[in-house]
Copies of this chain bind each other. A is one copy, B any other.
Amino acid sequence: MTEEIKIPEEHPRAESLPIREKLIKHFKSGDVTSAGLIAHGRGEALDYILGEKTTQPALKATKAAAATLLTAKHPVISVNGNTAALTSKDIVKLSKITRAKIEVNLFHRSSEREIAIKKLLEEAEATEVLGIGEAASARIPEVGSERRRIDPKGILIADAVLVPLEDGDRTEALVRMGKKVIAIDLNPLSRTAQFATVTIVDNIVRAIPTLIKVLNKLKTKNKKELENITSTFDNKKALGEAIDIIHRRLSKLAERGVYLPILEVEEP
């Protein structure tokens, strides 16, 4: 169905195209859903507008996220299809540094997908994967259908949950359950971004490795220093700054758009 497309290095999408290909590969093997592909496209558009790089407010949020994970008693990393497809190795690294449990949590839950994603994580050397099958016997209140299922050994008792690529309903419900929620979401205006305790507005393929680096720096700090980082972090302010960056970048792109200097259009 797909033809072989060579991506020249100078192509404006040189970095995003291999990620897209990776996701499509995992779609074909059943880890990723069709809705996951569309969600990825939304992310691509927002990442393009953000400039496809980690911004200063994202770095600040990453620092707060690291401090939150390091001071948590029961940190849990919630993994969905797109996250497993794109970053399973880094997710496992992250869980080892923070001693966070890994729980599979799918919007479109099916036995086959749970097992496929568990396998991906195990191939990335995860030693324990929660939330599979009957293990997800607890429920998130006020969330519909199969999305509400959580593991009593994982998210149910977690005090901090990292949710890359989560939906708004669940994020809101987890916050209502009293948990600190760390979201990774390219849309600073999404319900997930706005409800989370800490929102990293960045692409997960950059955000998770950055989080690992920051964790390695912060893990020697004492509890007081870490708590100082979390208590001085203002998520609304960081979101405002992210929106402001999008805004300024659009202004810049808009100027180019009007005058077209980058495109060297041959006038007819």
Contacts and interface: CB of A to CB of B under 8 A. Distances in A.
B41 A37 contact: yes
B41 A45 contact: yes
Contacts of A45: 41-46, 187
A35 B24 contact: yes
B191 A263 contact: yes
Given A35-B24, A38-B20, A109-B3, A247 B244 contact: no
Contacts of A263: 191, 194-195
DSSP class of A's interface residues: helix, strand, loop or mixed?
A: helix
B246 A250 contact: yes
State how many copies of this chain the complex holds.
Answer: 2
Contacts of A175: 268
A123 interface: no
Given A188-B257, A265-B195, A110 B236 contact: no
Interface in A166-189: 175-176, 178, 187-189
A258 B239 contact: yes
A3 B109 CA distance: 8
Interface in A32-87: 33-35, 37-46
A260 interface: yes
Interface of A: 1-3, 5, 20, 23-24, 27-28, 33-35, 37-46, 108-110, 112-113, 145-146, 175-176, 178, 187-189, 191, 194-195, 197, 236-237, 239-240, 243-244, 246-247, 250-251, 253-254, 256-260, 263, 265-266, 268
Instruction: State the 6 A-B residue pairs at the shortest beta-carbon distance, nearest first.
Output: A41-B41, A45-B45, A243-B254, A38-B41, A240-B258, A42-B45
